[in-house]
């Protein structure tokens, strides 16, 4: 596994923009406040480190991670069944940041890991240099509005 591969979830999420990860690293609850109501119980809780699915060994029931690990692949885009029913369901489950997973994996396969990570890093960084996260509405540093541009939001 390459140094940065831990930022690429099996499902195609870019972990460098994870609201939980960025909130912990930046010590800023603001990254959690605009998350979907599904995550309400975490919004005011103590910030905790998230190791991501590539580094954690706990069994939290992630079927996508378990499937990819059983096939010894680094992401679902490498699977002969891509995109499978499980990934399609996850991509279309109504949670905005999940809606880019399949497109992310297609792009990853096309341009390669290094270029994909570079693209994602730029996508999730404000002009002022601050880290952005999945549901942040305004940059925590300069207050500039953040445009997430998720596939599910572009359809509206």
pLDDT in tens, 3-56: 458 899 999 999 999 999 999 999 999 999 988 888 888 888 888 887 778 876
Crossing angle for the helix pair 113-123 and 101-111, nearest 10 degrees? Answer: 130
Reference 22, options 147, 130, 131; nearest CA is 131
pLDDT over 70 (residue 150) = no
Q: What is the pLDDT of residue 65?
A: 92
Q: What is the pLDDT of residue 126?
A: 95
Residues paired with 125 in a beta bridge? 131
Q: What is the pLDDT of residue 48?
A: 84
């Amino acid at each position: 596994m390459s140094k940065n591969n831990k930022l690429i979830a099996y499902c195609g999420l870019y972990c460098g923009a994870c609201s939980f990860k960025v909130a912990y690293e930046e010590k800023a609850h603001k990254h959690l406040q605009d998350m979907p109501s599904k995550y309400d119980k975490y919004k005011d809780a103590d910030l905790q480190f998230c190791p991501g699915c590539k580094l954690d060994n706990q069994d939290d029931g992630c079927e996508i991670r378990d499937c990819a690990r059983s096939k010894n692949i680094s992401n679902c885009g490498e699977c002969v069944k891509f995109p499978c029913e499980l990934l399609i369901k996850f991509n279309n489950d109504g949670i905005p940041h999940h809606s880019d997973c399949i497109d992310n994996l297609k792009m990853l396969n096309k341009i390669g890991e290094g270029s994909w990570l570079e693209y994602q890093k730029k996508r999730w960084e404000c002009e002022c240099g601050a880290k952005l996260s999945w549901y942040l509405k305004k940059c925590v540093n300069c207050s500039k509005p953040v445009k997430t541009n998720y596939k599910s939001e572009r359809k509206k």
